[in-house]
A and B are shown apart, each in its own frame.
Chain A
Amino acid sequence: MKKTVFLGALAIAGVAGVMASAQTLDDVKARGALNCGISTGLVGFASQDANGEWQGFDVAVCRAVAAAVLGDASAVDFTPTTNQVRFEVLNSGEIDMLARNTTWTFSRDVDLKLEFAGVNYYDGQGFMVPAALGVTSAKELDGATVCIQAGTTTELNLADFFRINNMSYQPVPISTASEAQQQYLAGSCDVYTTDASGLAATRAAFEDPSGHIILPEIISKEPLGPLVRHGDNEWGDVVRWTLNALIAAEELGVTSANIEELAAGTDNPEINRLLGSEGSLGEMLGVSADWAKNAIAANGNYGEIFERYIGQNTPIGLARGLNAQWTEGGLLYAPPFR
């Protein structure tokens, strides 16, 4: 009898542990800090600067969410995660969100019970080879040895690409990006493959970036975005709309320079709703009225973040390409704020 009571108590404790995760927004507010999972280090996306502060394109998403929820862009505890453990860390509740160039796929969304809050970078898998190799197309890579990072979608794309084109190759799966780069630079593989943005970031860190070329073929669609646990829709909405606010801000011409001025009220009702001087979007979302203003003020709008960390004027030197606003021929398209 007593045992039954004990088991019952344990059952409640077990279920309660899971239930608690359904109120991430309240947890974050109570804690006063956002736990954000990021990459272990990828120049431009997430890397530590000289002061030990995390900086980068993905890091900026974490900071924007922290600013939206807590009003403080620095209230973030960063947890660097590897490819292998990132989803477990998220699902276990150790982090509230993951912003770590993670590809949105069906099985991750549906089978792994994750929820993607949108896309912050439209990417595709590419190949990098030493210029001395004389290869100009990925179709010439028959028989090559290819270094890949284990535990990513790139392994599957690679296998498909070589099978479709009837070519053979030797995969060298390496668990961390830095180790894989070492192998590539030592010449123990001919080709290094990962997302094209990652290739650009990797090449920028090389001693001689001009000695390596990125082949024109993009062999897959890799929409990268922040994600949260499945089943906590309120929290998912916060992350999704924070990202949308950054994108919409660029479209509406709201920048970190003019945001104070625009927040006082403008003739454009959409800007007013976004920045909280009109309507009650913040209240609906369960955050303060100036949530979007804080999020944008943290690092600027999407375009500013892009230019600062990975744009043409950085060592990474990525063009906007697919990541331009829809009005400029890109894929970025934030739903309306109303």
Chain B
Amino acid sequence: MSTMSDPTQPVFRLSMLVNDTRYRGITFQIIAFFAIVFLFGWMAWNATQNLAALGQNISYGFLGEGAGYDINQKLIPYASTDTHLRAAFVGILNTLLVAFLGCITATIIGVTVGVLRLSNNWLVAKLMSGYVEIFRNVPVLIWILIIFSVMSNALPAPSAFRGENATASMVMDAFAFTNRGVYIPRPVWEPGSWMVVTVFFLSIVGIFALRRYAVKLLFDTGREIPVLKLSLAIFFVPTLLVYFLTGMPISLAYPSLQGFNFQGGIQIFGSLIGLWFALALYTGAFIAENVRGGIMSVSKGQTEAAAALGMRPGRIMRLVILPQALRVIIPPLISQYLNLTKNSSLAAAVGYMDITGTLGGITLNQTGRSFEAILLLMLFYLIISLSIAGVMNIYNNAIKLKER
């Protein structure tokens, strides 16, 4: 006799969507979703309507038209007769270049300063905290302008290198530091130079193989080999040997003053240097704080245990503390990289032709297609930011604590 019947399901009424806590959350989420979709849809619709009323339909046809302006720093061939699209690509490459250089430099500065700030040496620790506080608390645009104008005013103009009584001279006859940028020698590749390059890369692979072998040897037999000396030997000897055997196929073209400017070498533009250093120093200050936080999150017992095993401070930091600290450091580091990349759009202040300067600057002005250009810019920065975050997340997953 089964009197135990299932409790009758209450009949679903429409009012339960609001009054019943089981459904209320979902109801409001759906309402919010539609409200947001509607809001953005309306904004887009309104924009197209108003542009159409002004007689300006959204069109990307301008990308195929001739740009008509020149760009100073171009990583791919570009002339004023090329299209706006190609000008945009030149800008994209310039953005990526300064973001790449900036991220690497900021990381090096950040890790160094972050570690040194925890130093027991009072002077070093205070100097580093001074750096962090000064750079972190002044807007990056100001730093860009400061570093750029210091460069333009402190360094000599190319004309100062001219004549008998030149007031400036080149460093080692190869490097010229001017207020338009730094000129360095340019390698000239002659036939046969590929062999030298190949051998060079092979020897780098060899160095990594050697280090692996050395670790394995140490673990298996407890025998140590002089890794540093052998690495240096592998780095230099084969490459130099091939270089001289093939008859010195790589030479250097030195910059020399011709006319108004230095010609013949590679010019690293002052605007690139100013932007790069400012972004690196600014973001480096934030990364330093991340690194310091990460290191302090590793319990002191780890250091003491490592010291008890007889490890020296440098090794403790490198082999015990930093690998654990990385788990705390990496996630905020990702957002610092994103900040740096997005801050590179301040390039216009110093005339560095990044994507904001080409597509979002001159192209926008010359064609008047501001709506289209800004949409493209947003899309570009979105893709770049998501890519950086994606790559860094893969790295983060690789080093994070493996939970089993």
Contact = CB atoms under 8 A, between A and B. Distances in A.
Interface of A: 10-11, 14-15, 17-18, 83-84, 87-88, 91, 107-108, 111-113, 133, 141-145, 150-152, 155-156, 158-160, 162-163, 169-175, 179, 182-183, 186-190, 230-231
A188 B270 contact: yes
Given A17-B50, A175-B348, A230 B70 contact: no
A10 B368 contact: no
B68 A156 contact: yes
A11 B49 contact: yes
Contacts of A18: 50, 53-54
A84 B353 CA distance: 15
A112 B50 contact: no
A18 B364 CA distance: 23
B69 A155 contact: yes
A14 B357 contact: no
B73 to A, nearest CB: 9
Contacts of A231: 54-55
Interface of B: 42, 46, 49-50, 53-56, 68-72, 79-81, 149, 152-153, 157, 159, 179-180, 258-261, 263, 270-271, 348-349, 351, 353, 357, 361-362, 364-368, 370
Nearest to A132: B159
Contacts of B351: 150, 172-175, 183
12 contacts: A14-B46, A83-B365, A87-B368, A141-B260, A143-B259, A143-B261, A144-B259, A152-B365, A156-B68, A159-B70, A170-B261, A188-B270
A159 B55 contact: no
A156 B70 CA distance: 8
A151 B46 contact: no
A113 B54 contact: yes
Question: Nearest 8 A-B pairs (CB), nearest first?
Answer: A187-B157, A151-B365, A159-B80, A143-B259, A18-B53, A112-B368, A186-B152, A188-B152
Contacts of A155: 68-70, 362, 366
A46 B217 CA distance: 78
B80 A143 contact: no
Contact of B260 (A152, A175, A190): A190
Nearest to A91: B54
Given A171-B72, A173-B361, A230-B55, A15 B261 contact: no
Contacts of A108: 368
A163 to B, nearest CB: 6
Given A156-B68, A170-B261, A174-B351, A15 B53 contact: yes
Contacts of A17: 50
A179 B258 CA distance: 27
Contact of A150 (B56, B261, B362): B362
A309 B362 CA distance: 31
A171 B68 contact: no
Contacts of A142: 259
B159 A10 contact: no
Contacts of B72: 170-172
B70 A113 contact: no
A45 B152 CA distance: 29
Contacts of B71: 171
A189 B49 CA distance: 45
A186 B179 contact: yes
B364 A84 contact: yes
Contacts of A151: 361-362, 365
A307 to B, nearest CB: 33
A158 B72 CA distance: 13
Contacts of B56: 112-113
B349 A175 contact: yes
Contacts of B81: 163
A173 B353 contact: yes
Contacts of B260: 141, 143-145, 190
A163 B365 contact: no
A160 B81 CA distance: 9
Contact of B348 (A144, A145, A150, A170): A150
Nearest to A156: B68
A231 B353 CA distance: 36
A187 B49 contact: no
User: Most chain-B CB neighbours within 10 Å: which of A84, A152, A169?
Assistant: A84
Given A18-B50, A83-B365, A169-B70, A150 B357 contact: yes
Contacts of A15: 49, 53
Nearest to A190: B260
Contacts of A91: 54
Contacts of B49: 11, 14-15
B177 to A, nearest CB: 13
A113 B263 CA distance: 44
Contacts of A87: 368
B356 to A, nearest CB: 11
A161 to B, nearest CB: 11
Nearest to A159: B80
B69 A171 contact: yes
Contacts of A160: 68, 80
A182 B271 CA distance: 14
A175 B364 CA distance: 13
A282 B50 CA distance: 33
A189 B152 CA distance: 10
